[in-house]
């Protein structure tokens, strides 16, 4: 295990070690995240990519310590030398905002409907930076302007329902950035938005990330989104990381059949908006009934008897800094999903 | 697909435990209702004394062999009065919601099924009835009509119509879009057939749960009327009037008020427990307790 | 907002009219007629006929309703044929007592119900939550006259701390006045807090699972602010509705409680009118209470709109 750190020079800001999340459900224990290791250096970006339901949100919530009350967390989440999983609530609270921040998937639900935009920005500034109301209001207006919201002074007095989805997500980003965090976790920040504003929001995030030299985890189900915007990509399937590589390396030479399938599923720019995604055939396994072998085996073209029997570990046999979990990795340059035969 | 079928073993780990805990209370509630119900039905043949015989020499006596639960301020046997009181509470308590549920179910199902003007009219009418605080309405109507068991039952029954109408309408509304109703309609079933055969069985269960809650409310309202001396006229014993009379001697013989109070509380609680359990079982939302 | 108010107003008027009609019809349920009741033993055929003609009782019922409504709209609800007091005066005289009672009871109910609901929601599923929810459920099965008896027995008879009766006007001696309200208000509050708690608890539990609460936590806000501002404010919308719906029960409770504790409020007036068979007062009080109840619910609806910015900005 090489424990790849993106931007291997500096010590990691965040390192996730053996993190697993279990949720109790009526159908039994659901292992939403299964032994995940990750590391991220200050100022770098990591993309986490995977289909819906593969555990991306649960992983991000495990990092942020925002898991549902009944969820069980295993492993360590080291952030700035401290394990967040065992940190006392008050210290954790002080980290949130100035160190750790998040942008959620759905801006329709992540802003409080009965509080003004202004209140929701100002309270963060006051909680951590000890600003008085006037200064905080001024700073809040500046923040809104910085994320590209027109007439910010007026917006401060409005309620979330008076703003469009894209505007709300900009507000959420302004709130997340308000205390200059060292790490921003963006969980599918554009999935709930109109196609036309998706790129704007992603560019905004990338711009602010660079400007503030902030580390960022960008979660998405779309490999196309991480392509130009991240330093490293981790591909997730059924709760596990199945391939991880520096972004250019991944797109130059992906090893995992699942990654390949994901790539084939990227919506083309010229496809009409709101057409169904060309999904990967088949469905992910039932997370309450783990398979003995590779979780992708039932859907994989290359699967054989070994794949159904034993689970491949996440390993990096060529020491290329790009570990993958597959018995029969794809060799050579990018192969087309449809052209390959079992 | 096979994965989805084997569910029995691990399914519903925590809810099962919850149901067991509820079970004991539920059974106790049913047991009390049965006990009090039997006593009320058999009051005539039980070896108890007359509930109205006065014994001015044995007033406010503590329990004894002759009077198991003592006597009241006029020397009447408490046990016997409590049992005959159960008769009134249960008669009114059961009959009034019958009125409410029959009329309410019809109105609610018609409103929910046919929609349109009929629905607006029914909902409006129900709203007018809801504009009267229930106890005030009951007091006023019985004051004009005369205070008899029948009148009290009728009034409380009418007061219950809005609640039942709302439940029946809500359930019908949500059901009439479902496949089995749509299918029946597509197959040419008449409206009355759909209402009776397809919808009624589904509306019935939530209504039964509400019926039991209605019994609890009715016992309270009847008790309140009698407590104020504006319900069932004396000398017929009613828990409410016994509590009202016992209140005068709280300082010297508190049990005269507390015994009927206890009976009433246990009965109301029991009907609430049974009704609420049924309601939770028929409520599709998880954890709606 | 204007549209919302308009809609509600358009609904309010027909309901009020129907309420007046129903009140009038209830009064006509009286077997025999009012003239007979008023004259009682002194009724002779001539006197009856004269009184009927004077009161318009010999007119057709719809005409009588029209005349009565006309008077009502001009603030004339008639006068007691026993004391000669006008209904309006009688009601206005007693109104402050009932209002004081209900406001105190509601405040106590909220003061108990809100903190307990928050506690239960935060610790939902815990032993504390199960105990309090069970207690609330049991409490809902305890009619107010039973609570009254228990409180009188405990605090007036056994401990002798508080008076069971002995009301004096607030202006005369505020302290004695408030003391005389403690037990009645507590009695009513006993029925209020469980209902408030149950609704707010289930609402808070739902709210606490919202994304915006996770967001508030992710912002590093203090737990108190998350609970009291981010969770309680959106949850309190339903609380307001429940408070409105509960007012009907509160009024019913007030009738009983005023009778038990000898408070000279509207409830006492109503019960007294029934006992004295003073049907004019009775009719007036019923109309007044029902109208007041409808209006309060209307105001609660408006309050709901004020609290919820989504409705306030006309997306209802
Ligand atoms: N509160 C919860 N309780 C129980 N199971 C949950 C809960 N939230 C999510 N899950 C389950 O956990 C698994 C992982 O879900 P998660 O939300 O992390 O997926 P995701 O990758 O973020 O998907 P999406 O792209 O749809 O957001 C899924 O199987 C999901 O059904
Ligand atoms: S291990 Fe086998 S089943 Fe799994 S991805 Fe590789 S080839 Fe496919
Ligand atoms: Mg997600």
- Domain match, A55 and A167 both: no
Chain C: closest CA distance from residue B47 (Å) = 30
Q: Please, are residues A156 and A140 in contact by the beta-carbon 8 Å criterion?
A: yes
Domain membership of residue C300 (yes or no) is no
> Which of chain B's residues have a Cβ under 8 Å away from the Cβ of C138?
269
Name the nearest CA neighbour of A80 among A157, A142, A152, A12.
Answer: A12
- Domain match, A156 and A201 both: no
Q: What is the A323 CA–ligand 2 centroid distance (Å)? A: 14
Cα→Cα distances B287→B257, B280, B284, C133, C205, Å: 38, 8, 9, 13, 11
**In angstroms, rounded to a whole number, what is the distance separating the alpha carbons of residues A238 and A30?**
11
- Domain match, A133 and A232 both: no
Q: Does C230 touch chain A (CB under 8 A)?
A: yes
Number of domains chain A is built from:
2
Domain membership of residue C304 (yes or no) is no
Mapping DSSP onto H, E and C, the string for B32-70 reads HHHHHHHHHHCCCCCCCCCCCCCCCCCCCCCCCCCCCCC
The predicted model gives A82-95 an average pLDDT of: 92
Query: Is it the case that residue A341 has pLDDT exceeding 50?
Result: no
Q: What is the A279 CA–ligand 2 centroid distance (Å)? A: 18
- Domain match, A174 and A317 both: no
Cα→Cα distances A106→A144, B6, B172, C111, C212, Å: 19, 35, 34, 36, 10
**In angstroms, rounded to a whole number, what is the distance separating the alpha carbons of residues A279 and C155?**
72
Chain A: closest CA distance from residue B13 (Å) = 7
**What is the domain extent for residue A146?**
107-180
Q: Which residues lie closer than 8 Å to B177 by C-beta, 6 or more apart?
A: none
b vs e for A150-162, b when ≥16 Cβ sit within 10 Å of the residue's Cβ? eebeebbebbbeb
Domain boundary at A136, A158, A180, which? A180
| pLDDT tens digits along A8-28 | 456 789 999 999 999 988 888
Look at residue B58 in the predicted model and tell me its pLDDT.
Answer: 65
| pLDDT tens digits along B131-183 | 888 888 888 888 888 888 888 899 999 988 988 998 888 888 888 777 787 88
Q: Does B225 touch chain C (CB under 8 A)?
A: no
Beta carbon of A237 within 6 Å of any ligand 2 atom: no
Domain membership of residue C38 (yes or no) is no
Number of domains chain C is built from:
1
Question: Residue C127 has which token pair?
Answer: 């032993």
Look at residue B66 in the predicted model and tell me its pLDDT.
Answer: 66
Tell me the CATH number at A252: 3.40.50.300
How many Cβ atoms are within 10 Å of C149's Cβ, its own excluded? 24
Q: Does C224 touch chain A (CB under 8 A)?
A: no
Name the nearest CA neighbour of A111 among C309, C118, C241, C203.
Answer: C309
The residue of chain C with its CA nearest to that of A94 is C220
Look at residue A157 in the predicted model and tell me its pLDDT.
Answer: 93
Q: Does B3 touch chain A (CB under 8 A)?
A: yes
Tell me the CATH number at C192: 1.10.3720.10
Closest by Cβ to C290, choosing from B132, B141, B268: B132
The predicted model gives C102-116 an average pLDDT of: 92
Residue A93 to residue C221, Cβ atoms within 8 A: yes
- Domain match, A174 and A205 both: no
Look at residue A42 in the predicted model and tell me its pLDDT.
Answer: 92
**What is the domain extent for residue C210?**
92-275
Domain membership of residue A342 (yes or no) is yes
**In angstroms, rounded to a whole number, what is the distance separating the alpha carbons of residues A45 and A140?**
26
Name the nearest CA neighbour of C195 among C268, C264, C118, C140.
Answer: C140
Chain A: closest CA distance from residue C1 (Å) = 14
Instruction: Give the three-state DSSP class for A102.
Output: strand
Look at residue B13 in the predicted model and tell me its pLDDT.
Answer: 32
Q: What percent of chain A has pLDDT above 70?
A: 90
| pLDDT tens digits along C116-127 | 999 999 988 889
Residue B230 to residue C14, Cβ atoms within 8 A: no
**In angstroms, rounded to a whole number, what is the distance separating the alpha carbons of residues B128 and B162?**
9
Q: Which band of pLDDT confidence, cut at 50, 70 and 90, is reported for residue B285?
A: very low
The predicted model gives B21-39 an average pLDDT of: 84
Query: Is it the case that residue B286 has pLDDT exceeding 60?
Result: no
Look at residue B18 in the predicted model and tell me its pLDDT.
Answer: 47
Look at residue A185 in the predicted model and tell me its pLDDT.
Answer: 95
Give the residue with greater pLDDT, B202 vs A235: A235
Q: Which of B1, B13, B18 to mutate to test the interface with A (most CBs of A within 10 A)?
A: B13
- Of A89-103, B63-77, C71-85, C183-197, minimum mean pLDDT range: B63-77
How many Cβ atoms are within 10 Å of C40's Cβ, its own excluded? 8
Q: Does C308 touch chain A (CB under 8 A)?
A: yes
- Domain match, A218 and A329 both: yes
Look at residue C182 in the predicted model and tell me its pLDDT.
Answer: 85
The residue of chain C with its CA nearest to that of B123 is C15
Helices B78-114 and B116-130, axial angle in degrees (round to 10): 150
Residue B12 to residue A286, Cβ atoms within 8 A: no
Instruction: Identify which of A288-297, B231-240, C10-19, C221-230 has the greatest average pLDDT.
Output: C221-230
Look at residue B193 in the predicted model and tell me its pLDDT.
Answer: 83
Closest by Cβ to C289, choosing from B130, B133, B143: B133
**In angstroms, rounded to a whole number, what is the distance separating the alpha carbons of residues C77 and C68?**
8
Mean pLDDT, chain A, whole residue set: 86
Residue A27 to residue B11, Cβ atoms within 8 A: yes
Q: Which band of pLDDT confidence, cut at 50, 70 and 90, is reported for residue C155?
A: confident
| pLDDT tens digits along B35-88 | 988 888 877 777 677 766 666 666 666 777 666 667 666 667 777 788 888 888
Residue A175 to residue C219, Cβ atoms within 8 A: yes
CA B113 to chain centre: 27
Q: What is the A278 CA–ligand 2 centroid distance (Å)? A: 21
Look at residue B187 in the predicted model and tell me its pLDDT.
Answer: 81
Q: What is the A239 CA–ligand 1 centroid distance (Å)? A: 10
Domain membership of residue C249 (yes or no) is yes
Query: Is it the case that residue B6 has pLDDT exceeding 50?
Result: no
- Domain match, A167 and A293 both: no
Domain membership of residue A122 (yes or no) is yes
Query: Is it the case that residue A121 has pLDDT exceeding 90?
Result: yes
Instruction: Give the three-state DSSP class for C136.
Output: helix
Mean pLDDT, chain B, whole residue set: 79
Chain B: closest CA distance from residue C71 (Å) = 21
**In angstroms, rounded to a whole number, what is the distance separating the alpha carbons of residues C306 and C299?**
10
Chain B: closest CA distance from residue C128 (Å) = 15
Name the nearest CA neighbour of A101 among A149, A61, A64.
Answer: A64
| pLDDT tens digits along C271-290 | 888 888 888 888 888 888 88
Question: Residue C22 has which token pair?
Answer: 């129903």
Residue C310 to residue A159, Cβ atoms within 8 A: yes
Look at residue C85 in the predicted model and tell me its pLDDT.
Answer: 83
Look at residue A318 in the predicted model and tell me its pLDDT.
Answer: 80
Q: What is the A190 CA–ligand 1 centroid distance (Å)? A: 18
Look at residue A270 in the predicted model and tell me its pLDDT.
Answer: 52
**In angstroms, rounded to a whole number, what is the distance separating the alpha carbons of residues B154 and B92?**
9
Q: Does C123 touch chain A (CB under 8 A)?
A: no
Query: Is it the case that residue C206 has pLDDT exceeding 60?
Result: yes
Question: B78-288, what's its fold?
Answer: MetI-like fold (1.10.3720)
Q: Which residues lie closer than 8 Å to A7 by C-beta, 6 or more apart?
A: A41, A43, A44, A231
| pLDDT tens digits along B221-266 | 889 888 888 888 777 788 888 888 888 887 777 778 888 889 899 9
**Mutation pick for ligand 1 pocket among A20, A31, A57, A105 (CB with most ligand atoms within 8 Å):** A57
Domain boundary at A165, A180, A195, which? A180
Query: Is it the case that residue A335 has pLDDT exceeding 70?
Result: no
Helix and strand numbers, DSSP H then E, in chain B:
11, 0
Beta carbon of A295 within 6 Å of any ligand 1 atom: no
pTM for the model stands at 0.81
Beta carbon of A4 within 6 Å of any ligand 2 atom: no
| pLDDT tens digits along B212-228 | 888 998 999 889 888 88
Q: What is the dihedral of CA C185, C187, C191, C194, to 10 degrees?
A: 80
Residue A28 to residue B13, Cβ atoms within 8 A: yes
> Which of chain C's residues have a Cβ under 8 Å away from the Cβ of B130?
248
Look at residue C202 in the predicted model and tell me its pLDDT.
Answer: 87
User: What are the φ/ψ torsions at residue B225 (nearest 5 degrees)?
Assistant: -60, -50
Residue C293 to residue B276, Cβ atoms within 8 A: no
- Domain match, A210 and A314 both: yes
Domain membership of residue A189 (yes or no) is yes
Q: What is the A53 CA–ligand 3 centroid distance (Å)? A: 7
- Facing residues of A79 across strands? A14, A82
Query: ipTM surpassing 0.90, yes or no?
Result: no
């Amino acid at each position: 295990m090489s424990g790849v750190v993106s931007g291997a020079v500096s010590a990691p800001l965040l390192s996730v070690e053996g993190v697993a999340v279990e949720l109790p459900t009526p159908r039994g224990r659901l292992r939403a995240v299964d032994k995940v290791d990750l590391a991220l250096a200050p100022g770098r970006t990591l993309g986490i990519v995977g289909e819906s339901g593969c555990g991306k949100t649960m992983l991000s919530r495990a990092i942020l310590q925002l898991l549902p009350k009944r969820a069980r967390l295993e492993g360590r989440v080291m952030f700035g030398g401290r394990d967040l999983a065992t940190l006392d609530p008050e210290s954790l609270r002080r980290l949130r905002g100035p160190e750790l921040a998040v942008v959620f998937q759905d801006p329709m639900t992540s802003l409080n409907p009965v509080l003004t935009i202004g209140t929701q920005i100002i309270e963060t500034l006051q909680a951590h930076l000890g600003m008085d109301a006037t200064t905080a209001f001024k700073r809040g207006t500046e923040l809104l302007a910085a994320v590209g919201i027109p007439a910010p002074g007026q917006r401060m007095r409005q309620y979330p329902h008076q703003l469009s989805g894209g505007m709300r997500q900009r507000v959420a980003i302004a709130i997340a950035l308000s205390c200059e965090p060292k790490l921003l976790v963006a969980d599918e920040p554009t999935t709930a938005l109109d196609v036309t504003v998706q790129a704007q929001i992603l560019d905004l995030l990338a711009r602010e990330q660079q400007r503030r030299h902030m580390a960022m985890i960008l979660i998405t189900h779309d490999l196309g989104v991480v392509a130009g915007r991240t330093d490293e990509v981790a591909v997730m399937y059924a709760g596990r990381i199945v391939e991880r590589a520096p972004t250019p390396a991944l797109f130059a030479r992906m090893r995992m059949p699942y990654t390949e399938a994901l790539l084939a599923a990227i919506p083309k720019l010229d496809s009409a908006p709101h057409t169904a995604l060309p999904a990967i055939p088949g469905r992910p396994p039932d997370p309450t009934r783990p398979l003995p072998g590779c979780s992708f085996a039932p859907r994989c073209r290359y699967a054989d008897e070994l794949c159904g029997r034993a689970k491949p570990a996440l390993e990096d046999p060529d020491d290329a800094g790009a570990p993958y979990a597959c018995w029969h990795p794809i060799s050579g340059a990018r192969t087309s999903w449809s052209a390959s035969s079992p | 697909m096979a994965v989805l079928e084997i569910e029995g073993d691990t399914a519903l780990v925590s809810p099962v435990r919850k149901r067991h805990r509820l079970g004991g209370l539920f059974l106790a509630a049913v047991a009390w209702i049965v006990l009090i119900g039997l006593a009320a039905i058999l009051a005539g043949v039980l070896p108890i004394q007359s509930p109205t015989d006065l014994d001015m020499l044995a007033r406010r006596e503590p329990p004894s062999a002759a009077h198991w639960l003592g006597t009241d301020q006029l020397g009447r046997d408490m046990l016997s009065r409590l049992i005959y009181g159960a008769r009134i509470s249960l008669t009114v308590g059961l009959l009034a919601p019958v009125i409410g549920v029959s009329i309410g179910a019809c109105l609610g199902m018609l409103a929910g099924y046919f929609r349109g003007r009929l629905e607006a009219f029914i909902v409006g009418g129900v709203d007018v009835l809801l504009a009267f605080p229930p106890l005030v309405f009951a007091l006023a109507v019985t004051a004009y009509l005369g205070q008899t068991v029948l009148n009290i039952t009728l009034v409380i029954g009418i007061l219950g119509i809005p609640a039942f109408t709302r439940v029946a309408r809500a359930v019908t509304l949500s059901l009439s879009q479902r496949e089995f109703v749509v299918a029946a309609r597509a197959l040419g079933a008449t409206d009355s057939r759909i209402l009776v055969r397809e919808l009624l069985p589904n509306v019935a269960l939530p209504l039964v749960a509400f019926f039991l809650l209605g019994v609890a409310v009715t016992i309270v309202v009847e008790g309140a009327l009698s407590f104020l001396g504006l319900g069932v006229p004396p000398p017929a014993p009613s828990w409410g009037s016994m509590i009202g009379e016992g209140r005068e001697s709280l300082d010297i013989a508190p049990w005269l008020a507390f015994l009927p109070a206890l009976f009433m509380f246990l009965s109301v609680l029991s009907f609430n427990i049974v009704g609420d359990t049924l309601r939770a079982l028929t409520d599709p939302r998880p954890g709606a307790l | 907002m204007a549209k919302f108010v308009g809609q509600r107003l358009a609904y309010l008027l027909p309901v009020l009219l129907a309420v007046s009609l129903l009140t009038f019809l209830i009064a006509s349920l009286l077997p025999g007629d009012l003239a007979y009741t008023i004259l009682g033993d002194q009724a002779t055929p001539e006197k009856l006929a004269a009184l009927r003609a004077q009161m318009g009782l010999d007119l057709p019922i719809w005409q009588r309703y029209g005349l009565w409504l006309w008077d009502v709209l001009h603030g004339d609800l008639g006068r007691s044929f026993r004391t000669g007091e006008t209904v309006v005066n009688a009601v206005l005289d007693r109104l402050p007592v009932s209002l004081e009672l209900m406001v105190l009871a509601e405040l106590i109910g909220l003061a108990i119900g809100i903190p307990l609901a928050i506690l239960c929601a935060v610790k939902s599923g815990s032993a504390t939550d199960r105990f309090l929810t069970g207690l609330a459920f049991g409490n809902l099965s305890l009619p107010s006259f039973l609570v009254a008896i228990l409180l009188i027995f405990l605090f007036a008879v056994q401990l002798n701390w508080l008076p069971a009766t002995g009301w004096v006007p607030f202006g005369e001696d505020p302290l004695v006045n408030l003391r005389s309200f403690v037990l009645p208000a507590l009695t009513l509050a006993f029925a209020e807090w469980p209902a408030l708690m149950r609704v707010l608890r289930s609402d808070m539990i739902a709210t606490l699972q919202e994304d915006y609460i996770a967001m508030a936590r992710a912002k590093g806000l203090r737990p108190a602010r998350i609970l009291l501002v981010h969770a309680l404010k959106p949850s309190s919308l339903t609380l307001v509705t429940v408070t409105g719906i509960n007012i009907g029960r509160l009024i019913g409770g007030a009738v009983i409680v005023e009778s038990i504790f000898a408070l000279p409020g509207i409830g006492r007036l109503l019960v007294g009118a029934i006992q004295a068979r003073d049907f004019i007062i009775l009719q007036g009080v019923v109309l007044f209470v029902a109208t007041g109840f409808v209006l309060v619910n209307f105001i609660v609806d408006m309050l709901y709109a004020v609290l919820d910015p989504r409705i306030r900005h006309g997306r209802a």
